[in-house]
Structure 1
Amino acid sequence: MSQTPSQRLAQLRQQLEQAADAYYNRDELVISDADYDGLLRQLQALEAAHPELQQSDSPTQVIGGRASGRFAEVTHALPMLSLGNAFCKIGDDGALDEDAGGELATFIARLAQDLGRPADALVFSAEPKLDGLAISLRYEGGVFVQGATRGDGATGEDVTANLRTVSDIPQQLAGSGWPAVLEVRGEVYMARADFEAYNTRARAQGGKVLANPRNAAAGTLRQLDARVVAERRLSFFAYATGMVEGGELADSHSATLAQLRGWGFPVSELCQVVSGRQGLLDYFHRIGKLRDSLPFDIDGVVYKLDDKAGQQRMGFVARAPRWAIAHKFPAQEQTTTVEDIEIQIGRTGAATPVARLAPVQVAGVVVTNATLHNADQIARLDVRVGDTVIIRRAGDVIPEVASVRHELRPAGALPWQMPDACPVCGAELVQEEGMVVWRCSGELSCPAQRKEAIAHFASRKAMDIDGLGEKFIEVLVDAGIVSAVADLYRLDRDTLLKLKLILDAGQVEDYAMALQPHMSLLGSGATLQSLLALSGQADWQARALTVPVDVAWQPKKIATRWADKLIDAIDASRQTTLARLLYALGIEHVGEATAKTLAQWFGDLELIRHLPWPLYTQVPDIGGEVARAIGHFFDQAGNQQAIDALLAGGVSISDTHAPTARLRAGLGLVPLLVAAGIPGITAKRAEALASVVKDAASLVDAEGMQLSASGLPGPVLRGLTDWLEVPANAELLLRAEAAMARLLPLLAEEVSGAGPLEGQTVVLTGTLSALGRDQAKVHLEGFGAKVAGSVSKKTSFVVAGAEAGSKLAKAQELGVPVWDEQQLLAWLGEQGVVL
């Protein structure tokens, strides 16, 4: 049944009032700006057609929102009015309709008629329309005494304490000549950089993110704790004045803005005086082109009749001055529906949920995808497939889902869950404890991470393949010539020379011309035709590299030595150390120091790559998070296959050795139970369990009565039982115990007696370029030393690297022996340490 005008009016008013209350009092975005403006225009049209139904409290007659009651009310000496709007939109043909509703033309014509001036002679102050929160600042005797929000135009909220934290707002006016009482109106906003920085921190900490800079400014200014306001960093621009007593202002709006600037108020440098309709449109287009590059959000521009005498003659309507209008840009927020939620894997393995959307035009761009950032953000917003959502696009920022219209959710829409496996390679997706980011654990084998993995593998501190730059890797991977790190060992000189010519060429025609002197005549015509057919294609570089070419390189016409050196560097990297290879694999959290520690303690790649993760924790400085990351990496079949391919390609390790005897202390049931991360199981409780079960198999099979004999508290026992009931956990214990049994016979012979540094205290200072202080500490502690952080008379010796400071000076003052890095390296070599 169709609605009567009265029913439709009531519905529109309710929708608009609910949206305004959510924005002004709860800082929530329930409908987009474009939707709000559309509903308001519908209401205006209905009220114009049915004036008998118009009410004084209609959204078309009131300004902003009512006071929330959380702050004291402030009655404005002069009302803070809203502005009428002139809209533009992007047509289906992509063209800009500058005055979609004809409001701008009507505005100019009315001014010209009422003022008796030619339209082209009208002079305006044109200003950007900031997307923030309007406020009024009251100064008495040049001192800031009160600040208030606009509220409903007549009454706002006293937010003085919060505004005092905004550094742009002067507490004492500068210069001289200001009135005894001066009210300055302007906009509080959150700069894009501050907005993004806040949301980045919130996402990393699992907190609530802000929907957009406008909501961020409104919500921040209504915080009851001024310290929160200060932390969020608001900014301010002045754009008008209110009450003035005991003094006079300039007789034009633009001159008044210059006065305000002189008194210490920030005024936008984009303000400009223009004449006539063409002047307004030229300004509109100029600011529109700058919009995406500005450090703050704007949603349009404002035109104000510049001379104040003309302003007074034009007067006001119910909620807006007749001498000013806002000319709005295409909306940066729109409403659409979620058709699917997919996972995108980044170059570093980060798994980002992306909403696939019904196409919608936002700020002149058709948007079909929007980022959801992470699983926690999806849970906070409760986004589901089929939902109606508000998406936001501002500047170069990737479109994002700002909020969900939950009331429009279709029946049967299910909560979204992060998948278990990477959609690209099938490896496990893992989330680190306490982190919001999920990652693909197929670092070495995942195509999405391929370029990053290869670049890291070839880097100086990894396999040190000097000359293999990122541009080379990009094209080699795109061409399919290198699809895994092992493929680097199949590169040949011809491929590298062709690749260099391609990268030096601006387009495929240039490559063909550079290649021609080196081609044999036989078949060269067909080859050149194949290359030229790629002209204009975005991926021509990768495709050109795969075109077969019969070449005989002319040394006088092409430099080849660099290619020979790169091939030599690739060949040289086949013979490497275990630490370098472990670092080169790109395992999450395994840097140089951790790779060296693993290599020193376990000594053998075949051993390391097949250990259950709890055993890695028996190595100094490797905790549960790092151990799990190593375990996840080696658990992926694709990573193991990549390692097999490297070994098959001739990569060999020069320093394989038996695992250190120091592992023996950590190979038992008690350390295993502690390392496994069982809830509530400390070392003492693990010892209590070990008194009633002899091994991991016995623990897995134990009955409740047997476990209770350990004396563990009831909640801990229940947590242990629940943990063991998960098949993967029980399997982990059994695998780890079996690995310990295999590892024990491999351990190096126990060194009898104390270590050579037993009982000695060593201090490290400065930069140790060859070894690194973390690794030096591991070695020194392995030989019995205590590594301290400060120098005293009890210090045995100090190892001083480059740029050593106060610790070196203290050692010299106390007469403590000082070693340089070369002495330390020589001593470690004497102890049989392979570096």
Structure 2
Amino acid sequence: MGTTPDDAFEKLRHLRPMLSLANAFDRDDVIAFDRRVRGLLGLEEGSQPNHGKGLREEAELSYCAELKFDGLAVNLQYHDGQLKAAATRGDGSEGENVLANIRTIRNLPLRLLVQPVPAVIEIRGEVLMFREDFDRLNESQRALGEQVFANPRNAAAGSLRQMDPRVTASRPLRFMAYGIGELQARPLADTHSGCLAWLDAAGFSVDSRRRRCQSIDELMAFYEEIARQRDSLPFDIDGLVYKVDSLSWQEQLGSIARSPRFAIAHKFPAQEMVTELLAIDLQVGRTGAVTPVARLKPVQVGGVQVTNATLHNQDEIARKDLRVGDLVIVRRAGDVIPEVVSVLEPVARVRAAAFEFPSHCPSCGSPLFREPGEAVWRCQAQWACEAQKRQRLIHFASRKALDIEGLGEKIIQELLVHQLIDDPSDFYGLNGASLKPLPRMGAKRIEQLLCAIEASKHRPLSRLLFGLGIRHVGEEVARVLAQDKKTLTGLRETCWTDPEVMLPDGVGIEIANSLQTFFEHPGHQRMLDRFELWWAAAGNSKQDAQPAVISVLVPEQSDLLKGVDEAAIQDWGDGSLSRDLLPLLDQQLPQALVQGLCIVITGSFKDLSRDDLAEFLRRRGARVLSSVSRNTDLLILGENAGSKLVKAQALGIKLIELKLPAA
């Protein structure tokens, strides 16, 4: 299992991507996988051998079948035999740096126990918690009056991602190795099975319940055998993984965008439980989609209490003939998302009336509309619909959009109730006087919120476009548009009569129509005018151009910060330019300038240590990272800046050169 990298941890890029696996759910899926593998390798009669390169002279095709652990996937880096880095899977390219926590896991070797050791090697595996250990942990949590965990997977993930490694050390975590990523050494073995044996010898825990299979029948027999043993295993699994055993054939098969061609996950059927359908409610999303939701009598499914489940759309309710009061079968699709499978047979003789989907929006009363070929009914009132407005405002402030820390659902609801906001641009007109009447809004919280709102003006244009919630414009499309048009003005001035000419590759007619509808809507012009002004003033109008270096001189008495609002600048006063400089920096760099930004420091500073500068920035609400990535907002340059500067320039990250005067 992977997670999107969290801003609480520094990011760490994997040397080789951690791809996800395609899924198989039955024998036919496994047969199709085997047929694809044999076809690509030229092992089937009538296929093109090895894409015309000739049939490989290898042994008969065999698979290594192994258990699929239900935990948190991690990637370890060993340099010259020593554990030097560890990260969660994250998005497959980079994850969260959890080295300090990983080092506390008792069954994980900090030094490889074999000779010779590779110069660099990535070890892939799963952090999990055995069932007995999980039960004891929850007993301890109850005794202390603390929250218990829903299942071992959640307990393992939550324990590994603690900010305090001492908490992780107190939890009974284990690491189970299942593969190798980057290898800077001679091959360790000819087969995946051989690599697992090497991992065992190197000191890693490797589950022995694996089998080399040479036919579909052997794979299915092993699958059924493990399925029978599943409940008696010491840890949770959610299926099996089949990998082509030959490493040379693995290399030949390669990968597609997100998954390798040489492996597949054969998932177990999701656990199903019976409960009562108490009601069918309707939710209006930020794009106007009206989604029916089943309210269920609470039931435990796969270790998680389920009370709600999406019913998708009107057609799905009709197809399953779901009615309030029915006993229904519920499962978690992919062991994650709750869904109603069907009504329990036989149904009760006396049933409630069939559910009637409304013709008008349950929030604002506007007529609902369904486009030809679509299953979803939509409200087209946009910002005039209170439900859409609320969801759009929440989305705008969310982490992947403008990332306004402290601006959550509850505060947004209070702002709406007090009629302080009507669209996202109103966030930027808030002040201390308007926020003070809100409940639980003291001076400190108001200051933090206003600083976070101000800091959000420095987000890239792509984040603003994504935050506006335009239909069909996700993160990737927003990035493409921002890179092509550079400014909000450029996008607004696009000639919508010929979108194929005016828009970049990857933006089709459906997206173009959605953009045209949004940008030409009369009710959006005030909001767009304000954003256009603010984003240009914040320096984001040329976000994809090569960034200029802003020289910031820390003066003796004058030459104040260039590019900083004069109102934020006061006299520096006396004091040495060592640690005593920090109070002066504290006066000259208000929290609003760094709050919420991800900052990297490179180079050296006369009479000012990087640790002191980092401490200062953290105290003012910034996150100081050790490496430059796409998530970096600002790079502060000292003397002798190195490779971080080159990478930041390539990524278009803003640069500030901090210069200290001669003593």
TM-score band, normalised by shorter chain: 0.3 to 0.5
> Between Structure 1 and Structure 2, which shows a larger proportion of strand residues?
2
**Greater RCO, CA 8 A, separation 6+:** 2
